[in-house]
Amino acid sequence: MSRDSSSRTLVLLTGGTGGAKLVLGFHEETAPEDLVVVCNTADDSVVHGLHVSPDVDTIVYTLAGLIDPAKGWGIHDDTFAVLEQIQRLGGETWFHLGDRDIATHLTRTRLLTEGQPLSRVTAALCQALGVKSTVLPMSDQRVETRLSTSAGELSFQEYFVKARWQPEVLSLRYRGIETCGPSPGLLEAIHGAALVVVCPSNPATSIGPILAVPGVRAALRETPAKVAAVSPMVQGRSFSGPAHKLMATLGVEASVTGLAAAYRDFVDVLVIDTEDRGLQPAIEQLGVDARATSIRMDTLDDKKRLARELLQFSV
């Protein structure tokens, strides 16, 4: 447990919307250049031929001050002229892409086609948008969450956006995960961090893929840094989205106790909501330290306060 006390790097593992709230809190409470935000890419999709990285984009737009705060994704005040015309041309429009957002995807797709890895493309987008933090896609290789559901096999976006997470999910897998590798610098960042935070994102479809990238889970177990996780649910229900519905695919119950069971091999402390404080003993029986606080992040002040509380765990 000896740590390099000079490190101020905070490594945040995150999906989109929920995790992005906490990422913004850290961004406001620390030096942005000390943040390394590791994003799930297993929801990446090809939409109208464009490579869309929903979680990466949500994080980049959040850090760039471009995010649409009402929706939690996309660019604020974006227009939809392209999509409206695509509809007129008979194309599918269930995946809502704004015009400025499409510029991101066009640029990313062009750079990927030119042979640049996703991590370098993401760094270029960050630089162009003035983002000082490091945003790392979990892998430069393509990984895709596939859900076996009551409505057949679906990609995550088909399940989440098109089917509005109504089908029953029987199982899921991360296609391509075995042969992918972590983005350059990812394992090193975990090892050298002052603190690692697993953000309140879906454990099955956002955090799960990151943990399944070869080397990542072992690095989290072995890092000298403390690893904290923030629950994405209260009293067995997620704040938004289907996290609670998908806990069974991890073989655990839909509760913070189930979460502790899923993360117990690498998490030092699990931050749960005060409403769940009755489960603290059950979590600690699993060998995970449990801290109860308000984990709702409705306002910027909520986000900053939660980030400050987590910073207390850093070296």
Q: Which residues bind a second copy (CB under 8 A)?
A: 48-50, 78-79, 81-86, 88-91, 99-100, 102-104, 106-107, 109-110, 113, 124-125, 128-129
Least CB distance to a second copy at residue 76 (A) = 13
Distance, in Å, from the CA atom of 72 to the CA atom of 56, rounded to the nearest integer, reads 13
Burial grade of 162 (CB within 10 A; 0-12, 13-18, 19 or more): middle
Q: Check residue 79 and report its DSSP letter.
A: -
Please report, for residues 34, 89, 230, 251, the alpha-carbon distance to residue 215 in angstroms, rounded to integers and kept in the order given: 22, 45, 22, 22
Residue 51 pairs with which residues in a beta bridge? 46
Q: Name which of 48 and 175 has its Cβ closer to a second copy.
A: 48
Least CB distance to a second copy at residue 276 (A) = 42
Q: Name which of 98 and 241 has its Cβ closer to a second copy.
A: 98
Residue 233 dihedral angles phi and psi, to the nearest 5° = -145, 160
Least CB distance to a second copy at residue 82 (A) = 5
Tokens 């000079």 — which residue?
6
Least CB distance to a second copy at residue 300 (A) = 25
Q: Name which of 39 and 50 has its Cβ closer to a second copy.
A: 50
Q: Name which of 70 and 89 has its Cβ closer to a second copy.
A: 89
Tokens standing for 283? 């979590």
Tokens 């992918």 — which residue?
180
Q: Name which of 103 and 300 has its Cβ closer to a second copy.
A: 103
Please report, for residues 19, 36, 40, 108, 164, the alpha-carbon distance to residue 13 in angstroms, rounded to integers and kept in the order given: 8, 9, 8, 22, 25
